[in-house]
Structure 1
Amino acid sequence: MEKQEAEDDLRRSRSERHRLHITPAHPPGPLIDRVTNGWRGDVKTAANPPTGDDYEPGICDFEDEGSCPNVSRDLVRSRRFRRMMALVLLLLLVAYYAWQAYLRPRLQQEWNFKEGFLPGRVNGTYGIARAGDFDGTTIRDIHPDLLPGGVADHQGKRRLVFIGDIHGCRKELLHLLHSIDFDPTTDHLIATGDVISKGPNSPGVLDELIKVGAESVRGNHEDRLVEAAKTLLSTDLQAPSAATTSKGYAKDAALLKELKPRHMRYLHDMPLMLRIPALPLAKKRKGKHHIAEDIIVVHAGLVPHVPLDRQDPYFVMNMRSIDHKTHVPSALHETKTGNSKPWFDVWNWYQDRLDRGRSVGGFHVYSYAEWLEKQIQEDGWFGKLRGSVLSKALRKLNPQVAVYGHDSKMGLQVHRWSKGLDSGCVSGGRLTAMVLDARGETEVVQVGCKNYR
């Protein structure tokens, strides 16, 4: 009975499934067909590119996430990329500012200084430099016994004392010498010229200089007086002619009446330039208050790279500026060309170039050494070899320090390669001394002056 009921239930179940069209969860067939791994249906785009009439393959396919526009969009949205671009922009701005504010002006200044030395420039390095007439000694070397640390000063106790324009201010001169404890037995006094005129006591200043054995280069006032004496002393000073009635001429005539023969001999004996060799005990080191190189004392200035014997005497006693393109000097601070620079700026640039060992091979040929170099060149390999060896030795130029006065408008100017000591004493400024010891150390001492103008 129970068996019969079970068979009836089975038949009813089959009949109901047939009526509802219900199919089994898995159709009949091999089991491998029922596996649903994703890799079996994965189709690679590269291997099987899509096809269609509207499809055009390229790097700017917006449907492709790896295309150029989509990658660029993601890159721009990246915070890291924006920071990097901001840094690059900042570096560009800094580089532009450095070029405009520092590099470009320095390069322009370097060229402005250099172009006057080149042979291609008209009158470059003072192309008209051919010395000139000078009634007196052009170049004098200091006596070896007076050199600090020299043959007569093994212990290095001697000093050199350089003094700016005194202009007849005897009282201030004595005050200054007292301030530096000047001792004629160990100190040597050197004046930068213009020791006379304008002030109250020119004969008294000359007497003091003669008494202490001082030397002085000739300034423009001494030179004018020496030249004036050639005519004034041979005429009646009380009755000047129409050609001798200028204010300067009258002052020269009055001063000549006060001067004695010893004064005139001292003035005429003043050299145009005084040369001092490097101090034996001075060690070379940088600094504007240390001197270990040769010293050239002049009244007004020098044209750099031009040999001393080819310097124009008038400008050595009168120059204040120099044209940086032609190197033609001027007695004025500014000229109409607009190219004027203080002569000591060009001088300092040139000496610094020599000190750093920079080449001057392309500069003008002026010195005897360079002339001799051309004479020793011979044909053949031996002559060329000898010439190249000697060429390096002859082209070795050493920097020099210029000590000068004359330019009271610029005042005290202390640089490494130039020392300007005229500080306008006669006009109520100060009288300046620079004391140099045997080891090259310098000290600047000044005293106040009364205005005598």
Structure 2
Amino acid sequence: MSFARDDNTGSTRYRSNSRSCMDTLQDHDRTRLLMDEEESYSRDFHRRLVEAASPIPQYTPRKPLIEQCTNEWQHNTKWKSSRRDSSPDGFDDALESFLDRCLAILKAPKIRRYLLLYTILLILSIWLWSSMIWPAWEEQRILARSLSAENRKASGGLFGSNLRPTFANMIQVKDLDTKLVPKATASADATTDTVNRLIFVGDIHGCLDELKALLAKVNFNTKTDHLIAVGDVIAKGPESGGTVDFLRATGASCVRGNHEDRILLMAHEVKSLPALKVETPQTSQSSSSSSSARTLAASLTPSQIAYLESCPLVLRVGFVKPLASDLVVVHAGLVPGIPLDRQDPTSVMNMRSIHLDTHVPSKHPNPDGSVHWVKLWNKYQQSLPAAWWSFFPSRMFGGAQSAQEKRTIVVYGHDAPRGLQLKQYSKGIDTGCVKGGKLTALVLSASGSWQTVQVPCKGYRKRRPLDVEVEDVLRDGKLSKLDDGQEE
């Protein structure tokens, strides 16, 4: 570049060229600046783009690296797969996590204690249900079915529906004098524990000493108490005649048992055939129990025989207001639903069980299809209306039978193997005195409360070995015929 200088235009041209150079330099600098800014912006944009696209945060030297691990992918919904449930790995992880939680719960001491407690309660509940609740419920269901009208139709009528033959020298039902029924007294100096009591005594079997000890223990008073024997007052024991005389002297009531019935039949036989009093070859070959029974029958005086014959099969005490029920006394048992005057005499003196379908009683304790008669008796009494229910008309709430029949409590003996059995509507008080058990008295006070008193017995009759023939023994080792001495 050349600069021509003249006087007038030289300076002007020089200034013009200088300005052009400056402009060119400025334009160049501006261009480079713009390019640098554009490059810097491009780098910043690229860096932001990378940071936005990458889930891993940028390293910051001011904090430890471990603090940069936020595991955002576990909580951010945009990283979760829409097909997680269908993934095998996802299911395995969930299952493993669930099992880990379960193990953690089971390992906790508190949880283990609760688990042990609940396990014990479960075992106890199963045992209680299977051994007590379910059998009791099933028994009640069977008893209810046995008493239903459908069962009566299916079995063609129940036991006792036909007429009963009459027997000579036997009283079927006898009512106790109303003066002897316990009544609450309004006297201020009298107490219900000592006034107007009924004292029921179990099978005595000639154990006179034990009877006297028992009455002394209950403070028996002939003026304020009345004694009732539930049958089998004689036989097996040492003082049968003395026991009868003692009962007569105290004015006691009684019912006929199977042993009284047997001895009375033999007494009439001995009386009608005096020659049988002398031992003959036929009588000597009889069993020892038959021989002792015949000897006892021959030893009884007419007054003793008359007293035993006055004992009815059923002693009807009557309605006891505190008990809100009728009260009867028998030796062995009763068939529910059958009137007292139509009960079978042999069953009343000997029964132990009753068939569920036909209601036929049996002297055996557990024949097939039968239960202890007490169970059916109590179930039947519970099905009858209560005493206060009789104030309502029978046509409104029940049939004619329910309106006429009242709930009845029966006191009985005869069943020594089962011992003392005190149920709501049945009281069994034969506790095997003659075999070394106890003699039991059941005391009913004027207030309606029951009290049981017992004394130990010496045990006069031991079970002896059976004297049987070879043909009496079955192939399985059981006896087809028991000796008469095994009779209860």
Structure 2 counterparts to residues 26-105 of structure 1, below 5 A: 63-64=82-83, 100=130, 104-105=134-135
Task: Tell me how far 1:240 sits from its aligned partner.
Answer: 5.8
> Residue 305 in 1 paired to residue 342 in 2?
no
Task: Tell me how far 1:72 sits from its aligned partner.
Answer: 12
> CA–CA distance in 2 between the matches of 1:266 and 1:152?
35
CA contact (8 A) 1:145 1:153 kept: no
Which 10-residue stretch deviates more, 219-228 or 410-419? 410-419
Task: Tell me how far 1:11 sits from its aligned partner.
Answer: 3.3
Match of 1:331 in 2: 363
CA contact (8 A) 1:115 1:121 kept: no
Of 11, 24, 33, 2:28 maps to 11
Match of 1:406 in 2: 414
In structure 1, runs of 5+ residues without a counterpart are 26-61, 283-290, 358-368, 370-385
Task: Tell me how far 1:224 sits from its aligned partner.
Answer: 1.2
Match of 1:432 in 2: 440
Which 10-residue stretch deviates more, 422-431 or 232-241? 232-241
Structure 2 counterparts to residues 109-128 of structure 1, below 5 A: 109-117=139-147, 118-122=151-155, 126=159
Structure 2 counterparts to residues 278-427 of structure 1, below 5 A: 278-280=319-321, 282=322, 291-335=323-367, 337=368, 339-354=369-384, 388-389=395-396, 391-392=398-399, 394-396=401-403, 397-427=405-435
Match of 1:161 in 2: 199
CA contact (8 A) 1:321 1:340 kept: yes
Aligned residue identity for 2:211: L
Task: Tell me how far 1:168 sits from its aligned partner.
Answer: 1.2
> Residue 200 in 1 paired to residue 205 in 2?
no
Match of 1:227 in 2: 265
Relative to 1, partners in 2 of residues 1:151 and 1:76: Cα closer, same or farther, differing over 3 Å? same
CA contact (8 A) 1:125 1:306 kept: no
Aligned residue identity for 1:407: D
Which 10-residue stretch deviates more, 170-179 or 325-334? 325-334
Task: Tell me how far 1:353 sits from its aligned partner.
Answer: 4.0
Alignment coverage as a number of residue pairs: 383
Aligned residue identity for 1:274: L
Aligned residue identity for 2:203: D
CA contact (8 A) 2:160 2:343 kept: no
Corresponding residue SS for 2:417: coil
Match of 1:138 in 2: 172
Relative to 1, partners in 2 of residues 1:139 and 1:333: Cα closer, same or farther, differing over 3 Å? same
CA contact (8 A) 2:200 2:443 kept: yes
Match of 1:149 in 2: 183
Task: Tell me how far 1:340 sits from its aligned partner.
Answer: 3.6
Match of 1:263 in 2: 304
> CA–CA distance in 2 between the matches of 1:99 and 1:76?
38
Corresponding residue SS for 1:426: helix
CA contact (8 A) 2:197 2:443 kept: yes
> CA–CA distance in 2 between the matches of 1:246 and 1:238?
14
Corresponding residue SS for 2:276: coil
CA contact (8 A) 1:318 1:331 kept: yes
> CA–CA distance in 2 between the matches of 1:207 and 1:425?
19
Aligned residue identity for 1:425: C
Task: Tell me how far 1:266 sits from its aligned partner.
Answer: 0.8
Larger % of helix: which?
2
> CA–CA distance in 1 between the matches of 2:453 and 2:408?
23
Task: Tell me how far 1:75 sits from its aligned partner.
Answer: 9.8
Higher relative contact order (CA 8 A, sep 6+): 1
Task: Tell me how far 1:392 sits from its aligned partner.
Answer: 4.3
Aligned residue identity for 1:200: P
> CA–CA distance in 1 between the matches of 2:372 and 2:29?
126
CA contact (8 A) 1:293 1:401 kept: yes
Describe the superposition over 1:131-154 as per-residue Cα deviations: whole angstroms up to 9, x where unpaired: 444432211121111111179999
Of 225, 235, 245, 1:187 maps to 225
- Give the TM-score of the pair, scaled to structure 1: 0.70
Task: Tell me how far 1:171 sits from its aligned partner.
Answer: 1.7
> CA–CA distance in 2 between the matches of 1:133 and 1:328?
19
Aligned residue identity for 1:11: H
Which 10-residue stretch deviates more, 235-244 or 297-306? 235-244
Describe the superposition over 1:353-402 as per-residue Cα deviations: whole angstroms up to 9, x where unpaired: 44789xxxxxxxxxxx9xxxxxxxxxxxxxxxx99448446424432211
Task: Tell me how far 1:18 sits from its aligned partner.
Answer: 7.5
Corresponding residue SS for 2:332: coil
> CA–CA distance in 2 between the matches of 1:293 and 1:204?
35
Corresponding residue SS for 1:434: strand
Aligned residue identity for 2:343: Q
Relative to 1, partners in 2 of residues 1:187 and 1:17: Cα closer, same or farther, differing over 3 Å? same
> CA–CA distance in 1 between the matches of 2:446 and 2:291?
44
In structure 2, runs of 5+ residues without a counterpart are 1-17, 43-80, 106-113, 462-488
> CA–CA distance in 2 between the matches of 1:421 and 1:23?
117
Aligned residue identity for 1:429: G
CA contact (8 A) 1:274 1:296 kept: yes
Corresponding residue SS for 1:395: helix
- What is the percent sequence identity of the aligned residues? 37
Relative to 1, partners in 2 of residues 1:388 and 1:72: Cα closer, same or farther, differing over 3 Å? farther
Structure 2 counterparts to residues 441-452 of structure 1, below 5 A: 441-452=449-460
Task: Tell me how far 1:347 sits from its aligned partner.
Answer: 2.1
Task: Tell me how far 1:103 sits from its aligned partner.
Answer: 5.1
Q: Larger Rg: 1 or 2?
A: 2
Task: Tell me how far 1:271 sits from its aligned partner.
Answer: 0.6
CA contact (8 A) 2:184 2:447 kept: no
Aligned residue identity for 2:402: R
Aligned residue identity for 1:173: L
Relative to 1, partners in 2 of residues 1:168 and 1:119: Cα closer, same or farther, differing over 3 Å? same
> CA–CA distance in 1 between the matches of 2:407 and 2:308?
30
CA contact (8 A) 1:131 1:313 kept: no
Aligned residue identity for 2:299: E
CA contact (8 A) 1:130 1:312 kept: no
CA contact (8 A) 2:417 2:432 kept: yes
Cα RMSD after superposing both structures:
4.5
CA contact (8 A) 1:167 1:426 kept: yes
Relative to 1, partners in 2 of residues 1:191 and 1:68: Cα closer, same or farther, differing over 3 Å? farther
Relative to 1, partners in 2 of residues 1:307 and 1:122: Cα closer, same or farther, differing over 3 Å? same
Task: Tell me how far 1:207 sits from its aligned partner.
Answer: 0.9
> CA–CA distance in 1 between the matches of 2:385 and 2:402?
13
